[in-house]
Amino acid sequence: MSALDLWSMAFVFLLAAFVGFQVIQNVSRLLHTPLMSLTNAISAIAVVGSILLAGEQHSTFSTVLGTIAVAASVTNIVSGFLITDRMLKMFRERSPRA
């Protein structure tokens, strides 16, 4: 990896952190619990690194650790998106008759 790669990753991190602060400050306080479960599901994108580790099969050790990491990440993806949607479905406005 060249030094430029390192710097371009640092730039990506910097910009993503700023975007994150902006976007998340606009999230309604009503939805802070779903926010946490949604960001948790999204950060389970760690699954891509785990898939490569489990699939490249360099050694038994790395394949086993990779497989456990895939299982942990998939757990977060599945439960995170499902429970966030389940919670959000419950948020209803006052019905017009009231």
Partner 1 sequence: MSAQLHLIQASYLAAAALFIMSLRWLSGPKTARRGVAAGAAGMALAIFGTLVDPNIQGYTWIAIAFVVGTAIGVPLSKVPLTAVPQRTALSHAFGGLAAGLVGTAKYFLWLDEGTLTGFRMGAIIVEVILGYLTLTGSLMAAGKLQEIIPTRPITYQGQNVVNLGLLAIAIASGIYLVIDPTIWQLFPVIILLSLIFGVLLIVPIGGADMPTVISLLNSYAGLAAVAMGFVLENKVLIVAGALDGASGLILSIIMCRAMNRSFTNVLFGAFGQVQAAAAGGEARTAKSGTARDASDLLGNAGTVVIVPGYGMAVAQAQHRVREIYDQLTKRGVDVKFAIHPVAGRMPGHMNVLLAEAEVPYDALIEMDDINRDLPQTDVVLVVGANDVVNPAARTDPKSPIYGMPIIDADKAKYVIANKRSMNPGFAGIDNDLYYADNTLMVFGDAKAVLGDIVKALSGESGH
**Quick check: 25 binds partner 1 (CB under 8 A)?**
yes
Q: Does 89 bind partner 1 (CB under 8 A)?
A: yes
What are the tokens at 36? 């946490």
4 binds partner 1 (CB under 8 A): no
Pair of tokens at residue 31: 């939805």
Angle between helices 47-56 and 60-89 (to 10 degrees): 150
What residues have CB less than 8 Å from 49, skipping those under 6 apart?
A: 69
Residue 98 makes contact with partner 1 by CB under 8 A: yes
- Write out the binding residues for partner 1, residues 27-86 only, by CB under 8 A: 27-59, 61-63, 65-86
What minimum distance in Å lies between the beta carbon of 23 and partner 1? 5
Does 1 interact with partner 1 (rule: CB under 8 A)? yes
